[in-house]
Amino acid sequence: MIAHPILMAIGMADLLGLGLILSAGWIAGDVLLHSNPDGRDRRQIALEARSERGGLEARWGAGLFAFSTLLLVIAVTRILPELIPGAMCGTGVFQAMQGAGFRAFALRFITLLLLYLWHLLDRLNRTSPRGPLTETCARMLLIALPGAVLGIFDTFKAVSLLDLERPVDCCAALYDRFGNGNSLPFWENIPDAFWMGGFMATGILLIAAGIWSFLRPGRKSAALLAIFSLIWPFAAAGALIQVLSAYHYQVLSHPCPWCLFLPEHWRVGFFLFAALLGGMAAGTAALLSIIVGQRYPAIREPARIMSRRASGWVVLLSILFIIGASFPALLWRLRHGVWIGG
């Protein structure tokens, strides 16, 4: 366990956020069990007031959870590699965390996506005076709640495994995989051309679906956008790590996502991965808005506007990602006349 201030800040933000999300979750459970919007008895009126308070708590809780996740990314990419012997980037830190780190990150990002969708529903709910989505919001919050609990638990577990005395071998973790071809994960064997083809094809389809959904927001266009916005991050991240990262690092091959967060590479990883995750969240939000808007006429128009806005964000973020990820490759090609792999 390392008692670094950033880890303490993460712990504090996590505990505060979790407390608020649990309290909001308790209220959400009460809403689902006891809400009767047609009644005007004491319990219902009190529940309506508590439900508004619960929404506020969940907003603050989600904000703190997002903030602590950002701090965790900063800690893993910038601060902990300097403390853990042998670690040069997040890869070494994850090695030191012995698997719990990956689980914590995965759970945190899934939870953030769910909390973002809750936030979207909550915003839509608040566009109508009687809050027709109150119960839907309560359900979504309860879906996100276990992810928050487990994500925070795994973060504590991962951080407690960090040891300043036990060295790691950052690059060995990366390159040892190539030493024994049999143990390579399947994506390491996929040819570069396939990655780049998938990246460009899904990118073009995503942007086209985004423009369609922006110009004509509807269930079909939003569904297509949501599908591509869920496929695209995998294709794009694969192309970035397996092919394009070499141009960022200016070496023949270095398939490490974490080095993109280092200052010598302009910390471009923050921007690129934020664009990917943001695009994925916005694409899902575009579809969710349309679905709830069609189900609840009171919020149809704000839902349509929100879906349109989310579609616009997908287009913008994917274009920014493409530019940010491929610019060093194009620059290399213009300077040297060949691609890095020949």
User: Which stretches of the chain bind other proteins, using CB under 8 A?
Assistant: 40-42, 45-46, 48-49, 52, 125-126, 128-131
Q: How far is the CB of 85 from other proteins (least distance, A)?
A: 53
Q: How far is the CB of 129 from other proteins (least distance, A)?
A: 4
Distance, CA of 311 to CA of 175 (rounded, Å) = 39
Task: Dihedral sign for Cα 180, 181, 187, 192, please.
Answer: positive
Nearest by Cα to 67 from 131, 20, 1, 121: 20
CB within 8 Å of 303: residues ≥ 6 apart:
124, 289, 290, 292, 293, 294, 296
Measure Cα distances from 274 to 232, 277, 280 in Å.
14, 5, 10
Distance, CA of 176 to CA of 161 (rounded, Å) = 22
Q: How far is the CB of 118 from other proteins (least distance, A)?
A: 16
CB within 8 Å of 249: residues ≥ 6 apart:
259, 265
* DSSP letter, residue 252: S
Q: How far is the CB of 60 from other proteins (least distance, A)?
A: 16
Q: Would you tell me how many other CB atoms lie within 10 Å of the CB of residue 167?
A: 14
Do residues 279 and 313 lie in contact, with contact meaning Cβ atoms separated by under 8 Å? yes
Q: Which is nearer to other proteins, 130 or 335 (CB)?
A: 130
CB within 8 Å of 133: residues ≥ 6 apart:
121, 122, 124, 125, 292, 296, 299
Distance, CA of 218 to CA of 233 (rounded, Å) = 23
Q: Which is nearer to other proteins, 126 or 139 (CB)?
A: 126
Q: How far is the CB of 294 from other proteins (least distance, A)?
A: 22
Q: How far is the CB of 126 from other proteins (least distance, A)?
A: 6
Q: Which is nearer to other proteins, 45 or 323 (CB)?
A: 45
Q: How far is the CB of 292 from other proteins (least distance, A)?
A: 16
Distance, CA of 192 to CA of 163 (rounded, Å) = 37
Q: How far is the CB of 19 from other proteins (least distance, A)?
A: 23
Q: Which is nearer to other proteins, 37 or 191 (CB)?
A: 37
Distance, CA of 104 to CA of 124 (rounded, Å) = 30
Do residues 310 and 214 lie in contact, with contact meaning Cβ atoms separated by under 8 Å? no
Distance, CA of 14 to CA of 159 (rounded, Å) = 13
Max Cα distance, the chain (Å): 76
Q: Which is nearer to other proteins, 90 or 293 (CB)?
A: 293
Q: How far is the CB of 134 from other proteins (least distance, A)?
A: 9
Q: Which is nearer to other proteins, 14 or 122 (CB)?
A: 122
Q: Which is nearer to other proteins, 95 or 134 (CB)?
A: 134
Q: Which is nearer to other proteins, 138 or 286 (CB)?
A: 138
Q: Which is nearer to other proteins, 125 or 284 (CB)?
A: 125
